Each structure stands twice: as C-alpha cells, then as structure tokens.
Amino acid sequence: MSTHPVHLLVSCPDSSGLVSAMTGLLAEQRINILDLDQHTDSAENWFFARVAFDLAGSDVALPDLIKLWQPIAESRNMSWRLHDTEQRRRMAILVGQRDQCGRELLWRWEDGQLDCDIPLVISNHPDARDHVERFGVPFHVLPVSREKSAEQERDIRSLLEQHNVDLVVLARYMQILSPQFVNWLPNRIINIHHSFLPAFAGSKPYHQAFARGVKVIGATCHYVTEELDAGPIIEQAVVPVNHRDTLEDLIRKGADLERSALVTGVRLHLQNRVLVHGRRTVVFQ
C-alpha cells in the first residue's frame, strides 16, 4: 500500500460513540491514524471531524474501505467526503487588473507551499500576462462587457472543463459570477474580499471604511455563493488603522492582508481542513 495520507471529513448530528465508530473501523483494518481533530457545536448538537490516516500498514484498498464505511455513515446520517492526497487538485486562478494576489498564489505554489497543479490563469485584462507566464503557466485573456458577460462566462467554464479544474480562486477578479456558474462548483470557488466581512461588502470597501473612520481594516477569504460577498468564511486578517491614515494608506495596508488571507484560505482548503455548515465553517487549523 502507498504511504500518502488520506483525509476523511465528517459532519453529522452529534451522538455517543461517533469517534469510536470511526477509529474502530480503522483499527480493525490496521490503518494508522496520523491526525484526528473534532468539534461539537453544542448549540446545534452537530458533530464535525477530520481524520488523516495512512493505508501503508493495511491490506484494505481505498474502494473497499469506502464500502465498509458507508453503513456507518448511513446509520449516523453523516455528510462526509474522502480525499486521497495522491490525487492532486487542479486549481485555476482568475485575476483582474490588480494581480498581486494572483502573483502571491503563483509564488507560493512555485515554492511548494500549495499542494496542487495550476494548469491556467484567466483574466479579463491582458495586464498580468508577463507576470503569469514567468511561472510557466498558460495565461488566457477573455475580455468581458455587460452585453457579453454570459458568453464570456461560458468561455471560462469551457476552459476550466478542458483542464479538469476542480478549484477556482478569484484573486481580485472583480466580476460577479452567475448563480449557474457558482452552483456548478459549490464550495469550490474561493474569493478574497478586501474588507472584514460582513462589513463593507460590495465595491470600494476601502473607500467605505475610510468614510466611516474605522479603527481596523481587514480582508476576508470566503467561498462564493449566489449572495454577493456572503459565502462561508474560511480566513480573515486585520490590521489597526487610525485618523492619520489616508485612503491610500488603507489600500496599501490592506493589500498585504489580502495576499495573506487568500493564501491561508486556499491552503486550508487544499489540506481538507474546512467543513461548511450552512453559512458557517469549521476550520481545523
């Protein structure tokens, strides 16, 4: 058997013996648990868990383990997913004119900090071409206009399907995706918004924050849903500001937060550490 980790994520109503049921099955098959984290939401009586294990010492193959697991999952009314880390995810990045967040992702990926493949970057502007192609990643320009937004979105989806993409990251892409597109990849489209959501959703959040005289600004990495800037939050970062800071200062300070929050959020997703529950998330750091 291989020695790469397998991740199991579980969400279900809380009841006694849940951990024992999970670990007992793995023990019976001589499967070594590498890491186990759990959380119970007492307000909703809901259980969450992430288990990382290794099949190296077991005679059971992953498809057979899934068959053994299914009766337990059904009896506990579990929502669950299992990811074999040998299967690298394929991540596409969508960028706009400001491509600093996209470049940060590419640099971290080139440095081996993001465990995925990046088969392409897409933009509605040509500005980022040189930066992207320095990383050896194909760059596609698909201009958008109000009259042709649906056509452009279809072209994006076609490219993503051609490249078998299973995760899309909006790195300051600044275009609103249709409900049809969002529902095509539920909880697999990640966005960075340049404010501490739910404050200052929508456009020009730094301008809104400056006008309100806030003392803290932030950036929010979240999953994309049909409701603008309201998807389940994965990661947030903040920095204090004061009356001496200009609008340009807020934008400059916020840019660092955007890159940091986005990279962390994407990494958590790639490591299967995020469980979505309604509008909220449980994130096992």
Q: For residues 201 and 193, is the Cβ–Cβ distance under 8 A? A: yes
Angle of the 100-110 helix axis to the 247-270 helix axis, nearest 10 = 40
From 54, 229, 249, 256, active-site residue: 229
Q: Which tokens sit at 187? A: 């909880």
Dihedral over Cα of 9, 11, 14, 18: its sign = negative
Q: State the Cα–Cα distance between residues 31 and 63, nearest whole angstrom.
A: 14
Residue linked to tokens 């933009």: 123
First to last CA, the chain: 28
**CA neighbours closer than 13 Å in the CB half-sphere of residue 89:** 20
Phi, psi of 55 (to 5 degrees): -90, 5
The question of whether 127 is a catalytic residue gets the answer no
Phi, psi of 180 (to 5 degrees): -65, -40
**Nearest Cα to Cα of residue 43 among 283, 284, 278, 285:** 278
Q: Which tokens sit at 157? A: 């989806």
Q: For residues 116 and 269, is the Cβ–Cβ distance under 8 A? A: no
3 state DSSP class of 50: strand
Active-site annotation, residues: 229
